[in-house]
């Protein structure tokens, strides 16, 4: 029998943030979701989350999961006190309790499962995860014997100079025999440098305490400040990029790029330097993204080249060239073999195949046909101050440089629009439309 409790009531003072610590994002996902995910292999009877500081925000984040029970800890008097608050709801529960600090995101599900298995196999009173780390500062130091029995954990702030030299640290993940733990919980006191009730003090009181040492120290990183948050982000980024590289993606300068864990790549994709992929991105075969791109929640086809550009919630088909300096905003669909050039902004539009928008344009709420040439500086004036309106342009039409198309407007097929035109009326197929003042010349103006 197994119950799980995640300690998530703390403020996270060292983060210096208005956001509760467990909601700080790591790879765009709050820390607490990482911790939940690390338990995903376990079969659980009860799942309790200890909340306190800004508890409504924490509950809201986890509201998708209806198996969670929230227990309020108020005030927050330390990790030992947090576990004491579980007593009324767990009561006579007769099983093991896995306690996880809410700020330890990188533990692998297999590591946690292994902890529970070993604990149950050895029938220990408590089993904890430890690791030998190169920078133990801030972590509780674990004093253990060679056979794995733990004598005690002493918090960093309470260690003597000699004790600080011990680099075996407490990960903040514990599997307790609940009945045994319940007996010692009332004995915790705050006679320490932080004047808090430490859960770690329960270890020496409970006896028959074992530890499992994790060799990969990266897994046990706790996050107390923004430096540790950045270190974890780097660890996870490196792991992800290595995974993608092993799948056959080239990163020219991986350290300068960031990726999400929801990217899908075709074969022989090249990610150039300073490129960032967020959310769900799909990149097709032989495409080259970057340098200098930001792509979010978008689908990019095969043989696409994008350079120094932003693509957001859009779909780009095969053999399209984009950039430099294009901004493709949500709900844009760019079909095969189109070209979008420099200083072009497109929003909520369909650009059908083989069309070109090469320079200095704004295209919004438009449906542009096949093989259309949008001249430099063409603007779809889609907003009348109250509402957005549509612009339609038929196949094979050409807009002259600096055209303003005042929507709603329907430009037919095979239309040519003279440079500098401002058009407010529909244009029929196969016609020439010019909407500008006639050129006037006064000879001998200067005599
Ligand atoms: C804790 C451990 C330390 C361990 C380290 C691993 C204690 C006393 N120390 O220190 O041995 O090496 O984690 O990362 O446990 N929380 C509550 N209520 C509270 C206080 C904290 O729910 O009253 C929660 C926090 O939200 C957090 C977790 O408990 O998720 C750990 O608290 P934190 O203050 O970060 O403990 P550390 O100083 O990191
Ligand atoms: Mg911590």
Q: Whose CA is closest to atom 22 on ligand 1?
A: 9
Local confidence band at 360 (pLDDT 50, 70, 90 cut-offs):
very high
Point out the ligand nearest to the CA of residue 101.
Answer: 1
Q: Write out the DSSP string of 290-309.
A: -SS-EEES-EE-TT-EE-S-
pLDDT in tens, 224-234: 999 999 999 99
The 8-class DSSP code of residue 140 comes to: P
Ligand 2 centre to CA of 224 (Å) is 5
CA dist., res. 214 & res. 113, Å (int): 13
pLDDT in tens, 258-285: 999 999 999 999 999 999 999 999 999 9
Local confidence band at 431 (pLDDT 50, 70, 90 cut-offs):
very high
Q: Write out the DSSP string of 348-401.
A: S-EE-TT-EEEES-EEESEEE-TT-EE-TT-EEE-B-SS-B--EEE-TT-EEPT
- Answer yes or no: is the C-beta of 136 below 6 A from any ligand 1 atom: no
State residue 202's pLDDT score: 98
State residue 354's pLDDT score: 98
With CA atoms as reference, report the closest residue to 403 among 374, 437, 366. 374
CA distances from 247 to 27, 263, 268, 269, 414 (A): 20, 12, 9, 10, 46
Tell me the two tokens of residue 414: 């095979």
- Answer yes or no: is the C-beta of 221 below 6 A from any ligand 1 atom: no
- Answer yes or no: is the C-beta of 54 below 6 A from any ligand 1 atom: no
Local confidence band at 296 (pLDDT 50, 70, 90 cut-offs):
very high
For residues 198-213, average pLDDT: 98
Q: Whose CA is closest to atom 31 on ligand 1?
A: 101
- Answer yes or no: is the C-beta of 34 below 6 A from any ligand 1 atom: no
Local confidence band at 383 (pLDDT 50, 70, 90 cut-offs):
very high
State residue 69's pLDDT score: 98
State residue 31's pLDDT score: 98
Say which residues have a Cβ less than 8 Å from residue 253's Cβ, sequence separation at least 6: 272, 273, 274
- Answer yes or no: is the C-beta of 73 below 6 A from any ligand 1 atom: yes
For residues 18-46, average pLDDT: 97
- Domains of the chain as residue ranges with CATH: 2-224 (3.90.550.10), 227-433 (2.160.10.10)
For residues 365-378, average pLDDT: 98
Tell me the two tokens of residue 324: 């430099």
Side-chain-facing half-sphere of 325: CA atoms under 13 Å: 7
Point out the ligand nearest to the CA of residue 24.
Answer: 1
Ligand 2 centre to CA of 199 (Å) is 12
Tallying the residues shown for the chain, one arrives at 447
State residue 322's pLDDT score: 99
CA dist., res. 31 & res. 26, Å (int): 6
DSSP element (H, E) containing 403: none
Residue carrying structure tokens 């950039």: 323
State residue 300's pLDDT score: 99
State residue 3's pLDDT score: 98
Point out the ligand nearest to the CA of residue 53.
Answer: 1
For residues 299-321, average pLDDT: 99
State residue 384's pLDDT score: 95
pLDDT over 90, % of the chain: 100
Tell me the two tokens of residue 423: 């058009």
| Residue 96, Cβ density class (10 Å: 0-12 exposed, 13-18 middle, ≥19 buried) | buried
| Residue 124, Cβ density class (10 Å: 0-12 exposed, 13-18 middle, ≥19 buried) | buried
What is the SS3 assignment for 129?
A: strand
State residue 293's pLDDT score: 99
CA dist., res. 30 & res. 44, Å (int): 22
Whether 329 and 345 have beta carbons less than 8 Å apart is answered as yes
pLDDT in tens, 145-195: 999 999 999 999 999 999 999 999 999 999 999 999 999 999 999 999 999
Q: Which atom of ligand 1 is nearest to the CA of 8?
A: 26
Local confidence band at 140 (pLDDT 50, 70, 90 cut-offs):
very high
Mean pLDDT (the chain) is 98
Catalytic amino acids? 359
């Amino acid at each position: 029998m197994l119950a799980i409790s995640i300690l998530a009531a703390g403020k996270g003072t060292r983060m210096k943030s208005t956001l509760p610590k467990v909601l700080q994002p790591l790879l765009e996902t709050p820390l607490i979701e990482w911790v939940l995910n690390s338990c995903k292999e376990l079969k659980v009877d009860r799942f309790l989350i200890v909340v306190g500081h800004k508890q409504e925000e924490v509950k809201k984040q986890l509201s998708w999961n209806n198996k969670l029970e929230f227990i309020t800890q108020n005030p927050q008097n330390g990790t030992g006190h947090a576990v004491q608050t579980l007593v009324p709801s767990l009561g006579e529960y007769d099983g093991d309790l896995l306690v996880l600090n809410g700020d330890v995101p990188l533990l692998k599900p297999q590591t946690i499962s292994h902890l529970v298995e070993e604990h149950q196999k050895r029938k220990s009173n408590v089993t904890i995860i430890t690791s030998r780390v190169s920078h133990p500062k801030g972590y509780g130091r674990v004093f253990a014997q060679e056979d794995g029995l733990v004598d005690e954990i002493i918090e960093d702030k309470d260690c003597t100079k000699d004790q600080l030299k011990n680099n075996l640290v407490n990960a903040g993940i514990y599997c307790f025999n609940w009945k045994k733990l319940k007996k010692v919980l009332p004995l915790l006191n705050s006679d320490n440098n932080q004047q808090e009730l430490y859960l770690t003090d329960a270890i020496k009181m409970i006896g028959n305490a074992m530890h499992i040492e994790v060799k990969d120290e990266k897994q046990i990183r706790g996050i107390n400040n923004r430096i540790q948050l950045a270190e974890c982000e780097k660890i996870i980024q490196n792991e992800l990029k290595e995974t993608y590289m092993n799948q056959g993606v080239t990163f020219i300068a991986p350290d300068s790029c960031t990726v999400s864990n929801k990217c899908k790549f075709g074969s022989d994709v090249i990610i150039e330097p300073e490129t960032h992929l967020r959310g769900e991105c799909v990149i097709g075969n032989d495409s080259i993204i970057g340098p200098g791109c930001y792509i979010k929640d978008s689908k990019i086809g095969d043989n696409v080249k994008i350079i120094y550009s932003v693509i957001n919630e859009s779909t780009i088909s095969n053999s399209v060239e984009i950039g430099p300096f294009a901004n493709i905003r949500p709900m844009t669909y760019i079909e095969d073999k189109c070209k979008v050039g420099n200083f072009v902004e497109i929003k909520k539009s369909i650009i059908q195949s083989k069309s070109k928008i090469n320079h200095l344009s704004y295209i919004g709420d438009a449906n542009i046909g096949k093989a259309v040439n949008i001249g430099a500086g063409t603007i779809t004036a889609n907003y009348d101050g109250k509402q957005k309106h549509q612009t339609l342009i038929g196949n094979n039409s050409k807009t002259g440089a600096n055209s303003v198309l005042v929507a709603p407007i329907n430009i037919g097929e095979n239309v040519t629009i003279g440079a500098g035109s401002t058009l407010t009326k529909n244009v029929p197929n196969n016609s020439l439309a010019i909407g500008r003042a006639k050129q006037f010349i006064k000879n001998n103006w200067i005599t």
